[in-house]
Amino acid sequence: MRVRIEENSAMTGFSVERSRALVASILGVLFWAVLVAPLRARDKEGTAGKRSDLEAVARSYEVFGEQQQTLGSLQTQLGAITAKRRAMQSEQAYVDAKIDWAKTKLAGRGASDGKDASYNEETDTWMREVKAWEGRKAEHAEGLAKVLAEEGALMKALGQVAKSRDENDMLIPGELLELYVAEDESFNGLYQVRAGGYIVIPRLPKIFVAGKTIQEVEKAVREGLGKSQLRDATVTVDRVPMQVEAPEQRGDILYLAGQVTRPGPWPIPVGYEPTAVTVLLRVPVTTFADLTRVQVLRLVDGRAVIEKIDVKAIMDGQDLTQDFALEPNDIVVVPAKDTGEADNRPGNRNKRRVYVQGNVVEPSFVTVQHPAQMTVLAAIRHCGGPNRNADLRALELIRIERERTRREILNLGAIMRGEEPDVRVLGEDILVLYGKDHREILAPVRVYLSGNVKEAGPKEIEGKEGELTVLQALMHNGGYARFADLAGVYVLREMGNGIRNRIPVNMKKVQKGIIPDLILKDNDVIVVPEKFFSF
């Protein structure tokens, strides 16, 4: 009996050990299936995904290299042919000048009646000179036509290459993408494909896009947003088309406004260094032109600067050193004698030009036909609207008038939101939209000091963001004169249509801090009266 019991006990112990081993094996299999296998599969999937991204980037670089090689070759050829064309155009201008000079000499000789033989021989010489130069001009024109045709073909080829880059489904490094997320506009903006083939979106990890299609990029961005930001986001991605511009479209132009025979853009000839006088000699002015008050507007470090030039005095030889060298994109305004307006010619009463410069998509000018009216907002939109760097609170309106140049800062953002009324612009007005990084150097405030002050007359004072006050203006220009009536100080401010508003400013109370100082506007007149019993 004892033997059976011992046998049964031994068998039971063996069964327990086998059961434990079996359970351990089952748990090991389950652990592998549930934890280890998915992790390894995920690692393999991640490695495969990373390898796929890198392969796509490598392929995009191959395409990018091929296109860059083609573009580089075409651009080299275009540069050479453009230089040749410019040289030929300069030579053509020289030939034209020679022909004009010879014809002028010939025309000034008059009839040969009663003249000696030497006179006739000299006349024949000038006639042969004209004929020879005209023959050279004809030959030159034929060669120039061929060069222009070749340059046009190269420009067309460059455009086709750029177009193929835009139309190609595969994105490559260097391309620019525009992202739009309907649910959160903070993600909206332009993103460039980096050299590593990825784009960097705020609050998201790097997203590889090189070698992918637009649809694949939209999916990748949507998945990236879904992991940490937005679930089921509406994502739209567009590629910003690449553009090829001709050499003449790179800013080598001036803008002529007012009393000139051909207002508008004026290309600067190759090798020509324009000045205010030489340009107005090349582009004749009208009989209405007032050459004593020519003005040139230029953007310097993002700020509009106006230079006033007496062109008539320079032409008369009074001060040749005062001639002003012009630069590309300068605006030259020639006002009228009788009204001081920029454009009052009979032929131009039915059309107006408004010049838009600064931080807009396409700085240019807008021509408005009568009876249509142009407003500030319409002019800005006509030039493509504000760019990404535009400061919508800093739009300057510049208007050339007879006695002064009106300069006013407008809040374009408030106008766009309907918080402030849109402003009507007149012919030859100039709009300058400043950038976010140049707000501190806006145009100086122009004020006039009158009465018992030490320095009377017009003054231009640097004011930061419209913070110039009456006290600052007075102290900046020497302060009060003797017997000044501080309690009776007032400011005359233009309200339009020739109306001026009188604003009293008791400077005694201002200086004691009892009342606030007055913020000045452009063209305000500060009047400091004299005390009644000053004697």
Whether the domain at 253-441 and the domain at 445-528 fall into the same CATH topology: yes
Backbone angles phi, psi at 11, to 5 degrees: -65, -40
DSSP designation for 349: T
Residue 415 has pLDDT above 70, yes or no: yes
Question: Is residue 88 pLDDT above 60, yes or no?
Answer: yes
**pLDDT band (50, 70, 90) for residue 111:** low
> Does the pLDDT at position 119 exceed 60?
yes
- Report the C-alpha gap between 282 and 280 in whole angstroms: 5
How high is the pLDDT of residue 245? Answer: 39
* Range picked from 48-62, 220-234, 388-402, 428-442 for highest mean pLDDT: 220-234
257 Ramachandran zone, left/alpha/beta (phi>0; psi -120 to 50): beta
- How confident is the model over 479-499, as a mean pLDDT? 81
- CA–CA distance from 211 to each of 21, 66, 196 (Å)? 53, 14, 11
Stated length of the chain: 535
CATH architecture of 176-239: 2-Layer Sandwich (3.30)
**Pseudo-torsion of CA 336, 338, 339, 345, nearest 10°?**
-50
Give the tokens for residue 178: 């525009």
The Cα–Cα gap between 378 and 431 comes to 12
Q: Is the pLDDT assigned to residue 6 strictly greater than 50?
A: no
Nearest residue to 278 via CA among 319, 331, 314, 330:
314
Whose CA is closest to 290, among 336, 330, 353?
A: 336
Say how far apart CA 177 and CA 95 lie, in whole Å: 50
Are 501 and 483 a contacting pair, CB within 8 Å?
A: no
pLDDT at residue 60, rounded to an integer: 64
Which residues, in sequence order, are CB contacts of 280 under 8 Å at separation 6+? 260, 291, 294, 311, 332, 334
- C-alpha span between 477 and 453 (Å, rounded): 8
Q: Does the domain formed by 445-528 have CATH 3.40.30.10? A: no
Q: Average pLDDT in the 126-143 region?
A: 83
How many Å apart are CA 138 and CA 104, to the nearest integer?
A: 20
Q: Is the pLDDT of residue 311 over 60?
A: yes
pLDDT at 117: 66
pLDDT at 73 over 80: no
CA atoms within 13 A on the CB side of 336: 15
**241 pLDDT more than 70:** no
Number of H helices, E strands in the chain: 10, 20
What is the arithmetic mean of pLDDT over 241-259?
60
Interval 427-451: pLDDT, tens = 788 888 888 765 444 456 778 888 8
Q: Which residues contact 169 (CB under 8 A, 6 or more apart)?
A: 213, 214
Give the mean model confidence (pLDDT) for residues 361-369: 77
d(CA 535, CA 533): 6
Distances (CA, A) of 436 to 390, 394, 409, 430: 6, 9, 14, 20
pLDDT at 295 exceeding the cut of 80: yes
The more confidently predicted of residues 346 and 18 is 18
Phi and psi at 325, nearest 5°, equal -75, 130
d(CA 360, CA 389): 9
Looking at residue 489, its pLDDT comes to: 92
Q: How high is the pLDDT of residue 115? A: 58
Distance CA 233, CA 47 (A): 27
Q: Hunting for tokens 């300057």 — which residue is that?
A: 396
Q: For residue 242, what are its two tokens?
A: 């690449």
DSSP state at residue 309? E
- Give domain limits for the chain: 18-167, 176-239, 253-441, 445-528
pLDDT beyond 80 at 462: no
Q: What is the per-residue pLDDT for 490?
A: 92
498-506: long-range contacts at Cβ-Cβ below 8 A with a sequence spacing of 24 or more? Answer: 500/525, 505/470
CATH no. of 18-167: 1.10.287
Query: Above pLDDT 90, what percent of the chain?
Result: 1
Q: Is the pLDDT of residue 148 over 70?
A: yes
- Can you read off the two tokens belonging to residue 139? 């030959």
* Span of 208-217, 254-263, 272-281 with lowest mean pLDDT: 272-281
Distance CA 456, CA 208 (A): 66
Region of poorest pLDDT, from 64-78, 385-399, 470-484, 494-508: 64-78
∠ CA 239-242-245, rounded to 5°? 160
Check pLDDT > 50 for residue 26: yes
Residue pair 263/353 in contact (Cβ under 8 Å)? The answer is yes
Architecture of domain 253-441: Roll (3.10)
Measured distance CA(422)–CA(392) in Å, rounded: 14
